[in-house]
Amino acid sequence: MKSMLKFVFVLVVLLLASSIVFAGDGPTTESYSIWIGGHYTEFSDYAKKVGEYNKGDNETLPEFALNYLSTGSNSIFRFTSHYYDNKNAFAKLQSTISDKMKLSVQYRSLLKQEGQDLLTNIEAREYLPATDALSGKMLTHDIQDPNADYNTHRQEILTKFSLLLSEKNNVRLNATHRMILKNGHEQKIASTHCFSCHLTSMSAEVNNTQHNLEVGVDADVANFNIGYQFGYRLYDPQNSKSITYYDDARHPTNGGSGGEFGPRVIYEDTEAEFSVVPKTEKMSHKVKFKRNVGQGYLAGVIGYASAENKFTSLKTNSYSSIFNYATFLDMKTKLITKVALSKFDSDSIYIDLPTFREGLADSNYVDFDFTRYSALNRTNVNLSAELIKRMNAKTTLSGLIGYDIVNRDNYPTVDDGLSTKKLYLQGKLKYRQGLSMRSSLKVRFEKISDPFVSGRGFFEEAGHGDARLEPLVPTSNWVFYFQRESLRYQDITTLPTQVLSFDWNMSYNPSMKLSATFGLKGKLDKNDDLDSLDVEHSSFIPSITVMYNPTERFSMHTGYSYNYDKSRLPITVAVFDG
């Protein structure tokens, strides 16, 4: 009820403020509507994750909506709102004064219900068929708060402001600020897995704020329409820390051999924070332009952005430029070309780790220190050209060709980096019969070379006795888990190398008040470039939509879509030979 009162208070303040602002304008029309109702929700099913946005309290709650509109001689003021419950509400205020000033403030909130993973599968003990005994490794779990109701309340305040600074060059100031607040509790799981695999589930506070600010100026200068935009984003988590105990390193089955297992872990026998989301900050600068060139238009954006992790001081810089040009070759032919170039450069970092088995007798120790080069670092190039030709009054034909290149600087598992190239072709036929019928068919084909892969992803061979694996402990034939990485040889991906898609639709309008649209979309893709595996996806989506608008104030819209998806993907074979 307290939140509801706050909501009503804000509405009243906004209305009073608007009446002051528009007092001089003398409203010429005013209209408003109030809707009062209520709802009751029963939600007893434990599987709360299903219907995650439909969660309601198990009680009867009032519900109302308020809408107000006033129009002056050169102004429009509109207020819309809907209060559903304390966690789900919407309000929007819009005011426009001629074309000089526009202001809108929107508030909306929603509740996202989360489920709780009770970790029941994490309760097992290794079974040894040879001795018909329970023994060996254990999986255990601990739920600290099994009855917790996990959910997140998301609130957003979006403010948009536009002001005409000068009519002479149409100089306009634009500003947008979006604040997102998330509060609530979520399930956090800590895992410690040296002595025994043990998961601890606990309730963790969600409390973070995100600010997105964009401020820019647009102007018409000579034949150019130019603009500059500054962007700032801040993600600021303020939640309390989640801390767990990480066990001491011991043999997973006999609980001993601490000396052997201690040097295998980075930290042990300590309480430490986990699941830490860092504060991040991002700034961007963009210059936009558009100008008429001959019979066409040239538009583009040149941008630079920098994101920083305030916890580690790691930075990512990105540079992008996009140039689009459209022109009429003749009265019936339009050509559209697009060129985009972008580069991402994220800091690398040296990871200093304890030396594996250092100090142990009878050992070849291993130094796992490494430099993490970011998988983000890359250069993207996108080129495309589309020709649209109006064949006659009823038919339009278009063809598109494009080429994309992703050239990655560093790639974690492919030694020479990875460059992906995509060629795509698209044809489209549109047919119309006045205002009564129109139909279109689009067919697109893509050919991709070297899509993103998990390099040497799997197909691990048996390790024991493999001549390629030199035992780290000379007096034994131990083969360590990490040594087996070198036995993997199969690159694997779910991404296709060939894609064929089509999209057909037909809209029939027997009258200006009635229309029916039929559609069929389909997509077939595959990747048969992998050594011994094929990847295939297929989807078909038939649909029908009917619109009926008997009067200006009554509109009915109904539709049905059926989605069929089928995927054939690789799944790794489980191997226990460690």
**Which of positions 152-211 make contact with other proteins (CB under 8 A)?**
172, 180, 188-194, 196-197, 199, 208, 210
Residue 403 is a binding residue for other proteins (CB under 8 A): no
Closest CA to 108 of 236, 7, 211: 7
Q: Which of 370, 403, 478, 489 binds other proteins (CB under 8 A)?
A: 370
Q: Work out the number of other CB atoms within 10 angstroms of the CB of residue 404.
A: 17
- Compute the least distance from the CB of residue 443 to other proteins, in Å: 14
Long-range CB contacts (within 8 A, 24+) of 557-562:
none
Which residue, 106 or 498, has its beta carbon nearer to other proteins? 106
Beta-bridge mates of residue 283: 232, 306
Q: Which of 3, 4, 27, 49 binds other proteins (CB under 8 A)?
A: 49
Residue 476 is a binding residue for other proteins (CB under 8 A): no
Pattern 480-519, binding to other proteins, x per CB under 8 A? xxx-----x---xxxx---------x-----------x-x
What is the C-alpha radius of gyration for the chain, rounded to an integer number of angstroms? 31
Closest CA to 372 of 412, 317, 312: 412
* Binding residues with other proteins: total (CB under 8 A): 185
- Compute the least distance from the CB of residue 331 to other proteins, in Å: 8
Q: Which residue, chain included where needed, has tokens 């109030």?
A: 34
Q: How far apart are the C-alpha atoms of 325 and 333, rounded to whole Å?
A: 14
161: alpha, beta or left? (left if phi > 0; alpha if psi -120 to 50): beta
Which residue, 8 or 76, has its beta carbon nearer to other proteins? 76
Q: Which two tokens stand for residue 196?
A: 């025994």
Which residue, 275 or 498, has its beta carbon nearer to other proteins? 275
- Compute the least distance from the CB of residue 437 to other proteins, in Å: 11
* Contact yes or no for 453/492 (Cβ under 8 A): yes
- Alpha-carbon distances, residue 498 vs 101, 137, 199, 495 (angstroms): 50, 44, 42, 9
Q: Which of 23, 36, 276, 329 binds other proteins (CB under 8 A)?
A: 276
* Contact yes or no for 274/244 (Cβ under 8 A): yes
Q: Which of residues 72-101 bind other proteins (CB under 8 A)?
A: 73-76, 78, 88, 90, 98-99
* Contact yes or no for 302/321 (Cβ under 8 A): yes
Q: Which of residues 296-335 bind other proteins (CB under 8 A)?
A: 297, 299-301, 303, 305, 307, 309, 311-312, 314-316, 318, 320, 322, 324, 326, 331-332, 334
- Compute the least distance from the CB of residue 298 to other proteins, in Å: 10
Residue 392 is a binding residue for other proteins (CB under 8 A): no
Binding part of the chain for other proteins, among 11-19, 36-44, 57-65, 280-288 by CB under 8 A, reads 280-288
